[in-house]
Amino acid sequence: MMRLTGIGASEGVAIGKVLIFHQEELEFPKEKFLSSETAESEIIKLEEAMKKSKTQLISIREKVRAKLGDDKADIFDGHILLLEDEDLMDEITAKIKEDGLKAPYALKEGIDGYCEMLSQLDDPYLRERVADFQDIGTRWLKNLLNIKIKDLSNLEPNTIIVTNDLTPSDTAQLDLENCKGFVTEVGGKTAHSAIMARSLEIPAVVGTKSIITTVKDGEDIIIDGDEGEIYLSPTPELVKEFEVKRLEQINAIEELRKLKDLKPITKDGHEVEIWGNIGKPEDVEAVIESGATGIGLYRTEFLFMNSDHMPTEEEQYRAYRAVVEKMNNNPVTIRTMDIGGDKELPYLDLPKELNPFLGYRAIRISLVNKEMFKTQLRAILRASAYGTVKIMYPMISSIKEVRLANQILEECKAELDAIGKRFDRNIKVGIMIETPSSAIIAYKFAKEVDFFSIGTNDLTQYFLAVDRGNEMVSDLYSAFNPAVLEAIQKAIDAAHNQGISISMCGEFAGNKDAAELLLGMGLDAFSMSASSVLKVKNKILECNYTDAQKYRDLILSKDTTEEVIESLR
């Protein structure tokens, strides 16, 4: 047995078997042969690998249909058609018969040539198929070489994924029925993989450095997302011990569920709002189940990331409307697309940047790609006719950006008026407070918008100049840092002085150890992963607001992060 430590990123215990997930480079020599019999044998292998790939894609398509609906499943019909392209097959078999190439190299040359041809076409839709075809070609090639394909959407039961990192699109496609948890080599508590783990309510340990070279595929593993501990090849006694711990956690969750219908009101009568964060319409059920009374953050970028093309206005409208209707007039805060940083779109040709987190991302992309932005705003406005919707702009760093975005919003309203589409004419517009500039002059921004929402993940990163995904400096990254707490307090005061509401949708809002402090600071609404709602509600119910204000004064008097955390204890 071996014990390893990392950073506990998502609570809970998981017991299962390791699946090492990484995209290895496929390398093989450019082999030739002379025999016609060998050529026929190579072609048979090629065709069998194609049929196997088709069977796998059909299986994935049906899983996606059951999980995400027909529109997402239909994407795989296009993949199957590309796989069965007769012209491509003829070209590859010619390379085998005429050029004497073995099947793997002939297939690779055929795929590369096809991708090069697609990339040169004038039709943007066909050019965007390059990424699809590369993925299909890789699957075909792996099947030809008898390399096991590790498909995160189609896992074995009781799988625990071990990987260098999981991208947001990787986590968005996880087979949630069979994935019991994951471990990454990089990242911290607020890396997007960690945030997604909490949202999906699966245990995770991150920042474990060289674990991929330590574990073996299929090895027994226990991960403890509370303590950040990992046990490889655990003894039967240890497995029993953690099965007991897992059962205790399940029972504790059952006790918390009794609080679902209670309002989050302190013992002395101060009421706040507790909302949920979501990434797709399917997440709403968990929010409703948790007892949250609104959506404080709808991360719309996952709608874009789970598509092989730029979602149309109609596609976006349907996704937003579905959430709004399910929330039954409770507030739904829809954040405009926050792409960039570590969230990329294969069909949006973003430049490679040395520091993408400080570069071309979020509102900056939207304001440059005006038609794309207007498509999203019109879709949100149309959805607002079916409930209570608020629009929120991300990564705001200047007053100019707010004014430009609102000007474009007014154009969208006029366009919808011209074609007789209904929308909420008094729709509220707000911004994320997540840059130092927006926090420092929050009192000026408060005159421009209807509400604030504090994004503590990026706010902490930018205020402290600490990369939140870098485990080498993870000990410096903390929203409990006095500078970050001071910025939060200033934003809350600025909002209240101007008479607007302020919520928090960063991960700090779901930290039960921070709940009393944020309550005392005057935060109006807490928005978090559905899995954290009842824990924070329980903390609010146990508090007195007057005591929380005194507690706030004590905490804000501290000089270091360590002193703050010690006072919290």
Residues marked active site are found at 192, 505
Q: Which of 313, 252, 118 is nearest to 531 (CA)?
A: 252
Calpha distance 452→333 (Å, rounded): 11
CA distances from 404 to 113, 334, 396, 399, 437 (A): 44, 18, 11, 9, 17
Cβ neighbours for 101, distance < 8 A, ≥ 6 positions apart: 30, 31, 32, 95, 109
Cβ neighbours for 230, distance < 8 A, ≥ 6 positions apart: 3, 4, 5, 6, 183, 205, 208, 211, 221, 222, 223, 224
Calpha distance 62→81 (Å, rounded): 16
Calpha distance 369→367 (Å, rounded): 6
Calpha distance 233→239 (Å, rounded): 10
Cβ neighbours for 185, distance < 8 A, ≥ 6 positions apart: 163, 164, 165, 207, 208, 209, 210, 211, 212
Contact call for residues 56 and 139 (beta carbons, < 8 A)? yes
Tokens standing for residue 173: 């496609």
DSSP 543: -
Beta-sheet pairing, 229-232 with 220-224? antiparallel
Tokens standing for residue 346: 């294969």
Sign of the CA dihedral 88, 93, 98, 99? positive
Contact call for residues 252 and 273 (beta carbons, < 8 A)? no
Beta-sheet pairing, 332-335 with 295-299? parallel
| Residue 203: other Cβ atoms inside 10 A | 26
- Please report where in the chains the tokens 């420092």 appear, as a residue: 440
Calpha distance 264→332 (Å, rounded): 18
